C-alpha cells in the first residue's frame, strides 16, 4: 500500500522544498522503504523546456525524454531512483490534455470546470505509475497563496480526503526569520502561512521550519499551539553549509521519525553512514582544483545545477574540493583578448564549456576550447561545448576556416547541423527547421558505442553506454574523416554510426567533448566516471598528483 506525502511551501519561495523532499525520500529509503518523488508545477508552460535557463534554472531531462523541473535532479541524486515523465506535471500540461479531450467530445456535453475536471486530472496524475512504492512524495511548486497554486491545493485536499488521513500527510515548509531589532525569531509568518493553507481546507500535520539559527523549544511550542500541530512535529530545519548535510541534520531533528510516527509505522532507525561518508569527504578534502566554466547563463547558477553537482561528485571521487569559476564566455570576445582576460583561463586547472543555445557568446567558447587544446589544459565540452570544440578543431586543426553551426545561420562548412531525422529504437523521428520549439529536440536516453583504444572506453570501462540528450543539432558525420585526419578522434557514435556522440584528442592530456549530458546521471554515491576522470586530470594539471 502506498502512503502519500504532500509538501507545500509558504512565506517565501526558494525555501528548499525540493531538497527537503529529496532528503526525506532518502531517509525513508535508509529505513527500508521504496519511494517515488513527484513535482506538481503550477505555471502555464507545458513543461520547462522552452523557458530561459536564466529565469527558471536548468531543465532536467529524464531517461524517457521528458524535460522537467530541476528539483527532479535533486530527487534522483539523493535517492538514486530514476525520474520519469510521470513525475512532473504543470498546469499547462493539465489544461492542454483537458482541452484536447474537450475538442474530442470526451466530456459528453458537460461544462468543463476547474472543479471537478482540472482537479480530477491532477488527482489522476498523482495516482498514476506509482508501482510498488511505499511512499509517494509529492511536492507542490510555488508558494501557498499564489493564484495558480489553488487547483493543485484543492486537488491534494480532495485526495487526502479520498485516501483518508491515515494514508496522507501534509507537510508545510515555512520560514522562521530572525529579527535583529527584536533580537528574536519570529513565528508570525509561519502562523499566517498555515492560516492561508487552512483557508483552502488543508490542515498540515507537520511543519518544517527553515531558520538560520536554532529554534528554542518555547518558540516551537508556540508555533505548535497556534498552528494546531503536535510540538514534536514542528521540525527545525537549520541552514547547513552543504546540501549533503541536509538528510543528517533533518533526521537529527526527528523529520523521518515523525513522518513514520504519523503513519503509525515502525521501522529500523535511519542508516546515515553513507551520508556521513559523503559529508566527511566534502568537509575534509586533501586538496583543491579550480575549474573554469565558460558558459552563457552564468548570471543564474541554477542554470547549471546538475553540472555543479556532478563536478562536486568528481571531487568526492578524488577527495578534493572543486572550486568553480563561472565565466561569461562573452568576455573572451572582447577586442583586447587575450590580454585583458586570459589570466582567468591561465589560473584554472581545467576548462569546461557547458550546454547552451543560440549564437551569443559562442566565439568566446570557441576561444576557450582553443586555449585548452593548445595549452594542454584538460577540457570537457558538454553538448554545445562539444559542438564548439569541434568547430574550433575544424577551423584550426583541419583548416576549414568557414566552419560553423547551422544553428547560427548558413555557413561554408556546417560542422554542426540540424538533424532532420534519426532512428530511436524501431522508430524514425523527424524534425524540420520550422517545427515547434517545445519538446522537439533529441531528448532522453540513447545508446552510444565506444571505439576501441579510446579514452572514452577506458573511462567508462564499457563498450556500450547510455546517456541523456537534449539538443537539436548534431556534429556532421560527413566531416568525420577530415577531422580525424587532423587529430580529432570520434570515439563514441550512435549504433548506426551516424551521430557523433563523443570526440577526443588522443595527443592531449585530457580533451573530451560529449554530445549528451553526463551531469544528469551523476550522484554523490556514484560519481559519474567522466567527471571523476576529468577532475583527476585537473589534479594532474595542478600537480596535485
Query: What b/e sequence results for 262-275 when a residue is b if at least 16 CB atoms lie within 10 Å of its CB, and e otherwise?
Result: beeeeeeebebeeb
CA atoms of 55 and 64, how far apart (whole Å):
25
Nearer to ligand GLN, 66 or 118 (CB): 66
Smaller CB distance to ligand GLN: residue 78 or 516? Answer: 516
Q: Does 357 bind ligand GLN (CB under 6 A)?
A: yes
The neighbour count for residue 128, using CB atoms within 10 Å, is 10
Look-up: residue for cell 538560520?
A: 212
Which is nearer to ligand GLN, 256 or 519 (by Cβ)? 519
Residue 297 touching ligand GLN (CB under 6 A): no
Closest separation in Å from C-beta 372 to ligand GLN: 18
Total residues found in the chain within this entry = 545
Q: Which is catalytic among the residues 76, 121, 154, 519?
A: 519
Neighbouring-strand partners of residue 140: 40
Output the smallest distance, CB 471 to ligand GLN, in A. 3
Of the pair 123, 424, the CB lying nearest ligand GLN is at 424
- Contact between 471 and ligand GLN (CB under 6 A)? yes
Member of 141, 355, 381, 417 binding ligand GLN (CB under 6 A): 355
473 lines the binding site for ligand GLN (CB under 6 A): yes
In whole angstroms, how close is the CB of 153 to ligand GLN at the nearest point? 34
For the sheet containing 489-493, what is the strand order? 321-328, 288-295, 350-353, 379-382, 511-514, 500-504, 489-493, 442-450, 464-471
Q: Closest distance between ligand GLN and the C-beta of residue 142, in Å?
A: 26
Q: Which is nearer to ligand GLN, 384 or 446 (CB)?
A: 384
Q: Is 270 in the site for ligand GLN (CB under 6 A)?
A: no
Give the footprint of ligand GLN on residues 72-131 (CB under 6 A): none
Instruction: List beta partners, residue 322.
Output: 289
CA geometry: angle 468, 473, 475, nearest 5 deg: 90
197 backbone φψ class: left, alpha, beta (φ>0; ψ -120 to 50): alpha
The closest alpha carbon to 38, from 133, 154, 109, belongs to 133
Q: Count residues contacting ligand GLN (CB under 6 A)? A: 10
Per rule CB under 6 A, is residue 446 in the interface with ligand GLN?
no
Q: Which stretch binds ligand GLN (CB under 6 A): 198-206, 389-397, 424-432, 466-474?
A: 466-474
How many CA atoms within 13 Å lie on the side-chain side of 498?
A: 10
Q: Is residue 472 a contact residue for ligand GLN (CB under 6 A)?
A: yes
470 touches ligand GLN by CB under 6 A: yes
Alpha-carbon span 356 to 361, nearest angstrom: 10
Binding residue (CB under 6 A) for ligand GLN from 407, 467, 501, 504: 407
Choice between 61 and 194, CB closer to ligand GLN: 61
Instruction: Please give the angle made by the CA atoms of 365, 349 and 310, to the nearest 5 degrees.
Output: 75
Report the residue number whose CB is nearest to ligand GLN: 355
Q: Quick check: 33 and 135 in contact, CB under 8 A?
A: yes
Catalytic one of 74, 313, 517, 541: 517
Going by the DSSP 8-state scheme, the letter that residue 216 receives in this structure is: -
Q: Which is nearer to ligand GLN, 17 or 442 (CB)?
A: 442
Q: Which stretch binds ligand GLN (CB under 6 A): 154-162, 342-350, 353-361, 484-492?
A: 353-361
Q: What is the nearest approach in angstroms of ligand GLN to the Cβ of residue 120?
A: 36
Examine residue 48 and tell whether it contacts ligand GLN (CB under 6 A): no
In the complex, the smallest distance separating the C-beta of residue 470 from ligand GLN, rounded to whole angstroms, is 5
Catalytic residue from among 67, 383, 413, 504: 383
Cβ atoms 186, 176 nearer than 8 A: yes
Q: Is 343 an annotated catalytic residue?
A: no
For residue 421, indicate whether it is catalytic: no
Bridge partners of 323?
290
Site residues (CB under 6 A) for ligand GLN, limited to 380-399: 383-384
> Please, what is the minimum distance in Å from the beta carbon of residue 364 to ligand GLN?
15
Reference 442, options 463, 464, 418, 466; nearest CA is: 418
Segment interacting with ligand GLN, rule: CB under 6 A, options 191-199, 287-295, 354-362, 482-490: 354-362
Using CA atoms, how far apart are residues 389 and 540, in angstroms rounded to an integer? 22
Beta strands in 18-134 (DSSP E): 35-41, 60-61, 67-68, 88-90
Q: What's the min distance (Å) between Cβ of 358 and ligand GLN? A: 7
Q: Which of 126-134, 301-309, 465-473, 534-542 is the region at the interface with ligand GLN (rule: CB under 6 A)?
A: 465-473
* Closer of 40 and 475 to ligand GLN (Cβ): 475
SS3 at position 427: strand
| Cβ-based neighbours of 104, under 8 Å, separated by 6 or more | none
Residue span binding ligand GLN (CB under 6 A) among the ranges 21-29, 268-276, 340-348, 464-472: 464-472
Could you give the 3-state DSSP secondary structure of residue 329?
helix
Q: Label residue 344 exposed, middle or buried (CB < 10 Å: 0-12, 13-18, 19+).
A: middle
- The alpha carbon of residue 485 and the mean position of all alpha carbons in its chain are separated, in whole angstroms, by 37
What does the angle CA 34 – CA 39 – CA 44 come to, to the nearest 5 degrees?
160
Q: Are 194 and 227 in contact (CB under 8 A)?
A: yes
The reply on whether position 56 binds ligand GLN by CB under 6 A is: no
Q: How far is the CB of 473 from ligand GLN (least distance, A)?
A: 3
Compare residues 355 and 361 and give the one whose CB is closer to ligand GLN.
355
Minimum CB–partner distance for residue 417 and ligand GLN (Å)? 10
C-alpha cell at 243: 546540501
- Segment contacting ligand GLN by CB under 6 A, of 113-121, 265-273, 327-335, 470-478: 470-478
Rounded to an integer, what distance in angstroms lies between the CA atom of residue 203 and that of residue 438? 38
Return the SS3 of 407.
Answer: helix
Catalytic residue numbers read: 383, 517, 519
| Interaction site with ligand GLN (CB under 6 A) | 355-357, 383-384, 407, 470-473
Amino acid at each position: 500500500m502506498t502512503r502519500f506525502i504532500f509538501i507545500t511551501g509558504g512565506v517565501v519561495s526558494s525555501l528548499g522544498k525540493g531538497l527537503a523532499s529529496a532528503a526525506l525520500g532518502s531517509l525513508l529509503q535508509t529505513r527500508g522503504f521504496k519511494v517515488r518523488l513527484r513535482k506538481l508545477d503550477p505555471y502555464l508552460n507545458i513543461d520547462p523546456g522552452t523557458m530561459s535557463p536564466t529565469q527558471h534554472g536548468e531543465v532536467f531531462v529524464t531517461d524517457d525524454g521528458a524535460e522537467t523541473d530541476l528539483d527532479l535532479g535533486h530527487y534522483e541524486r539523493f535517492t538514486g531512483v530514476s525520474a520519469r515523465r510521470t513525475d512532473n506535471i504543470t498546469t499547462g500540461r493539465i489544461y492542454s490534455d483537458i482541452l484536447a479531450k474537450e475538442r474530442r467530445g470526451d466530456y459528453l456535453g458537460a461544462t468543463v470546470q476547474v472543479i471537478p475536471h482540472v482537479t480530477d486530472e491532477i488527482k489522476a496524475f498523482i495516482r498514476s505509475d506509482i508501482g510498488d512504492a511505499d511512499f509517494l512524495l509529492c511536492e507542490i511548486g510555488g508558494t501557498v497563496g499564489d493564484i495558480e497554486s489553488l487547483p493543485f491545493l484543492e486537488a491534494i485536499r480532495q485526495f487526502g480526503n479520498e485516501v483518508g488521513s491515515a494514508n496522507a500527510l501534509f507537510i508545510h515548509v515555512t520560514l522562521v526569520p530572525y529579527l535583529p531589532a527584536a533580537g528574536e525569531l519570529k513565528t508570525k509568518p509561519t502562523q499566517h502561512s498555515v492560516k492561508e493553507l487552512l483557508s483552502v481546507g488543508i490542515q498540515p500535520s507537520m511543519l518544517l521550519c527553515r531558520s538560520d539559527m536554532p529554534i528554542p523549544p518555547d518558540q516551537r511550542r508556540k508555533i505548535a499551539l497556534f498552528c494546531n500541530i503536535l510540538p514534536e512535529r514542528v521540525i527545525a530545519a537549520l541552514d547547513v553549509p552543504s546540501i549533503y548535510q541536509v538528510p543528517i541534520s533533518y533526521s537529527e531533528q526527528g523529520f523521518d521519525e515523525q513522518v513514520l510516527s504519523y503513519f503509525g509505522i515502525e521501522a529500523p532507525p535511519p542508516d546515515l553512514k553513507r551520508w556521513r561518508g559523503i559529508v566527511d569527504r566534502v568537509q575534509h578534502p586533501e586538496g583543491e582544483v579550480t575549474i573554469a566554466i565558460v558558459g552563457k547563463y552564468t548570471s543564474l547558477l541554477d542554470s547549471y545545477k546538475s553540472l555543479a553537482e556532478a563536478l562536486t561528485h568528481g571531487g568526492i571521487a578524488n577527495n578534493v574540493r572543486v572550486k568553480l569559476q563561472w565565466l561569461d564566455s562573452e568576455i573572451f570576445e572582447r577586442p583586447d583578448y587575450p590580454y585583458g582576460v586570459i589570466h582567468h583561463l591561465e589560473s584554472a586547472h581545467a576548462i569546461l564549456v557547458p550546454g547552451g543555445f543560440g549564437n551569443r557568446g559562442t566565439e568566446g567558447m570557441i576561444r576557450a576550447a582553443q586555449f585548452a587544446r593548445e595549452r594542454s589544459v584538460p577540457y570537457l565540452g558538454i553538448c554545445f561545448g562539444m559542438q564548439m570544440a569541434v568547430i574550433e578543431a575544424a577551423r584550426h586543426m583541419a583548416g576549414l576556416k568557414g566552419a560553423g553551426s547551422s544553428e547560427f545561420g548558413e555557413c561554408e562548412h556546417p560542422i554542426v547541423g540540424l538533424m532532420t531525422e534519426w532512428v530511436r529504437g524501431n522508430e524514425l523521428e523527424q524534425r524540420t527547421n520550422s517545427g515547434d520549439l517545445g519538446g522537439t529536440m533529441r531528448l532522453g536516453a540513447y545508446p552510444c558505442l565506444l571505439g576501441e583504444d579510446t579514452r572514452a572506453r577506458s573511462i567508462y570501462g564499457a563498450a556500450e553506454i547510455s546517456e541523456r540528450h537534449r539538443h537539436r543539432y548534431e556534429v556532421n558525420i560527413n566531416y568525420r574523416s577530415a577531422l580525424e585526419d587532423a587529430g580529432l578522434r570520434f570515439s563514441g557514435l550512435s549504433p548506426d554510426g551516424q551521430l557523433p556522440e563523443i570526440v577526443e584528442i588522443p595527443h592531449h592530456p585530457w580533451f573530451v567533448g560529449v554530445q549528451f549530458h553526463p551531469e544528469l546521471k551523476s550522484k554523490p554515491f556514484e560519481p559519474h566516471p567522466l567527471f571523476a576522470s576529468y577532475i583527476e586530470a585537473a589534479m594532474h594539471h595542478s600537480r596535485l598528483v
